[in-house]
Structure 1
Amino acid sequence: MQQAIKKSEKIASFELARVIALVAIISIHCQLFMDYGYIDEEPWLNFVTNQAARFAVPLFFLIAGYLIYPKLNAAPYKTAKDYCIPLMVIWLVWSIIHLLLPFNLGVVAEQGYLVERQGYWQYLMQAPLNSLFEGGLVHLWFIPSLAIAVLMIAWFVDNKCRRLIIPFAAIIYVYGLIAGSYGVITEVATPIFTRNGPFFSFLMVAIGFEARRNNWSMSATFALLVATAGMLLHFAEAYYLHGQGQIFNMNDFLLGTAIWATGLFFFLLAKPQLGNQPIWLKLGQWVLPIYVMHLLVVIYMNNLVAILELQTVSADLVIFFGTLVGSVILMFIIEKTPISFAKLRSIKLKGKPVANCPSAK
């Protein structure tokens, strides 16, 4: 059974898991092992490690749903507003930053800043609706997707139909699968990537929300079994779909992903003191800032690797560890500026401070 957790306590296992999940996401965006580890002329080392990290984002959503439950259940729209506005301000500010900062320094040096930026802006305008759900750089999709999920749950709570949250979220998730990774079979399409919007986020946030509302729990052993079964299903789906034309490492979520992440989530609930060390609690506070800015650092690390003409293992080491260290350094620099995350999370609306985002703590 789940151990008792005081409302005022941080759940140490969540903080540890969020740090691990962040590193997993960074590994995806660093595109490790793309130039070696080939089997039958395909980068299977990248394929496997890429998909092994896909537990991370749904785990973020699950934890967010669990943490926001008390306030969202008591005052749905007020809590949704207080939670989402700071997140969306961060999304807007960093979208603008990513739209303005050049990515390809070689093009800037040879052809100028405007040529480099116009190429990127034109790329975004090829799918303007999708770009609207993502923002200035692709990884920012997470923020509006989380906000949309919270707003949708607030609607169900306000209309006193909480029992319908999971069923509706599951339907939307399945549709996201049909039009997403399984689109190579179904030929169903949507105007935006199904990773964006509520297709992915709604179910995951809803499970976290409902787990706390209903006091759901699993033993640590059973939760790990569920997580293992979900992971195996995810990989089986990815392998099958790869044969149908959906590239193995292009799956943001599959049917097994939800089971996999949910099992890990209940394991963390069963072991709330796991990682109860000051370092993990401290690092947990940095997760949102580093998530938001890390892909920019990845881009510049790739520029550095190109300048140094590094390849294979040496290139991966520079990009991965350079991103980890560089993101932390950049975070500390940003926190000394007017656009610090601490300041953005404490903006005022109509003269009243907006509550800090639980997911950013």
Structure 2
Amino acid sequence: MPTATTPTRNASLDALRVLSLLGIVSLHVAGGGFAGMKPIGFVVDELSRFAVPVFFILSAYFWKAEELASPLRLTRRLAWRVLVPFVLWVAITMVWRMVTQPGYQPDLSPASLVFIAWTGEPAFHLWFLPALVVGAALVATSGKYFGWVFTLGLALFLFVLGTTLGSYARLLSGESFPFWLDRNGLLFAPIFLVVGVLLRRYRDRVAALSIPAVLAAAALFAALQVVEGYFVVGRYPMGHDYSLATLGYGTAVAILFMRLELRGSWWSLLGRATFTAYLVHLLILGLIVDHVTRYSPLVIILTFTASLVIGVVWQAAVAALRRKRVGAAAAQRGTS
């Protein structure tokens, strides 16, 4: 298994990134109605809920030891890596709405900007990017100064608190709270980031796990995810977002792909493209629903494919630009 500094990519984990993109697209399509097939939409929604936990797990899995020893350095790197595209895409989304929705004017008051930074609204699907930065700062700082046993306990407490305020709020109190209260970098992200760090630290033990056993665990937690959703949510087909079973589900899926030994450079090609594809997929989804067909399984296929193609093209363009810059720099050194 490659280390965090190894230049070669892990094809199995890139395949998991691609599968996670498919999961995200699927749950957003299911949330739109799924062509009236509400029970199927509900199941698709629930079974896709491994995707965001996997994002956090894989991010932390590749954190370097020297970064964990310097939480500020880690937070700064992640902020530069994800908050720049976050701000850019939120701005693009606002402009798109102003063009396509006459009369729309974004609220840019200080309070609204804070809310946007926390939730991604109007690009609500990007909430996980600021959540990554906030969660990383919390987890890395706690891990350095209080140790990983304490940090694991803290993250579990925060996750249970978030689930109580989120999926279980209606069941326990009869009231519902806005999604951004629990789906964020304080209550949701930390536990999955800790899982990623620990899976990396104990990767030798992970490598000894039986693939059939891990597959069985993933199937069990997937079933629990669906059952839990059925009992705690009073609406179809939105799913119940994330709750207790999601922790086991996301972790088991991540471990399963860590145990697989997939091959193929094309997985790396697609894996690199998933971040860009995730940024653009909701815009693509809206265009397809508005101009091609209503929410349905076909929309999943079209949105997933188009978004991934855009991601691949973008990565190729960026790589070509970098090669051109390197070549120009080399030529300049040769003439100096």
Shift of 1:179: 0.4
Within 5 Å, give how 1:28-39 maps onto structure 2: 28-31=27-30, 34-37=34-37
Would you say 1:208 and 2:193 are equivalent positions? Answer: no
Within 5 Å, give how 1:31-180 maps onto structure 2: 31=30, 34-37=34-37, 43-102=38-97, 105=100, 108=101, 113=102, 115=103, 117-118=104-105, 121=106, 130-135=115-120, 136-180=122-166
What is the alpha-carbon distance in structure 1 between the residues aligned to residue 161 and residue 188 of structure 2?
10
Query: Considering only aligned residues, what root-mean-square deviation do their CA atoms show, in Å?
Result: 3.1
Q: Among residues 324, 339, 354, which one is paired with 2:304 in the alignment?
A: 324
What is the alpha-carbon distance in structure 2 between the residues aligned to residue 333 and residue 211 of structure 1?
33
Would you say 1:300 and 2:296 are equivalent positions? Answer: no
What is the alpha-carbon distance in structure 2 between the residues aligned to residue 263 and residue 56 of structure 1?
12
CA deviation vs aligned residue, 1:13-57 (integer Å, no higher than 9, x gap): 1100110110111122223762233xxxxx111111111111111
2:223 match? 232
Shift of 1:164: 1.2
Shift of 1:247: 4.4
What is the alpha-carbon distance in structure 1 between the residues aligned to residue 72 and residue 268 of structure 2?
29
What is the alpha-carbon distance in structure 1 between the residues aligned to residue 255 and residue 315 of structure 2?
34
Question: Paired residues, what number?
Answer: 312
CA deviation vs aligned residue, 1:194-213 (integer Å, no higher than 9, x gap): 11232221111110111212
CA deviation vs aligned residue, 1:111-157 (integer Å, no higher than 9, x gap): xx3x1x23xx36x9998765431223110101011111111122113
What is the alpha-carbon distance in structure 2 between the residues aligned to residue 234 and residue 126 of structure 1?
35
What is the alpha-carbon distance in structure 2 between the residues aligned to residue 125 and residue 35 of structure 1?
39
Task: Look up the equivalent residue of 2:302 and give its one-letter code.
Answer: G
Shift of the 221–196 alpha-carbon distance from structure 1 to 2, 3 Å rule, reads: same
Shift of 1:171: 0.5
What is the alpha-carbon distance in structure 1 between the residues aligned to residue 176 and residue 295 of structure 2?
36
1:68 is paired with a residue whose SS is coil
Give the TM-score normalised by the residue count of structure 1. 0.77
What is the alpha-carbon distance in structure 2 between the residues aligned to residue 252 and residue 202 of structure 1?
17
Would you say 1:287 and 2:274 are equivalent positions? Answer: yes
Structure 2: gaps spanning 5 or more residues: 322-336
Shift of 1:69: 4.4
Q: Is the 8 A contact 1:230 1:256 kept in 2?
A: yes
What is the alpha-carbon distance in structure 2 between the residues aligned to residue 163 and residue 139 of structure 1?
32
CA deviation vs aligned residue, 1:308-351 (integer Å, no higher than 9, x gap): xx4575xx52x3343234324544676699xx7999xxxxxxxx
What is the alpha-carbon distance in structure 1 between the residues aligned to residue 237 and residue 270 of structure 2?
32
The more displaced of 142-151 and 212-221 is: 212-221
2:329 match? none
Give the TM-score normalised by the residue count of structure 2. 0.82
1:355 match? none
Would you say 1:254 and 2:243 are equivalent positions? Answer: yes
Would you say 1:219 and 2:206 are equivalent positions? Answer: no
What is the alpha-carbon distance in structure 1 between the residues aligned to residue 320 and residue 71 of structure 2?
24
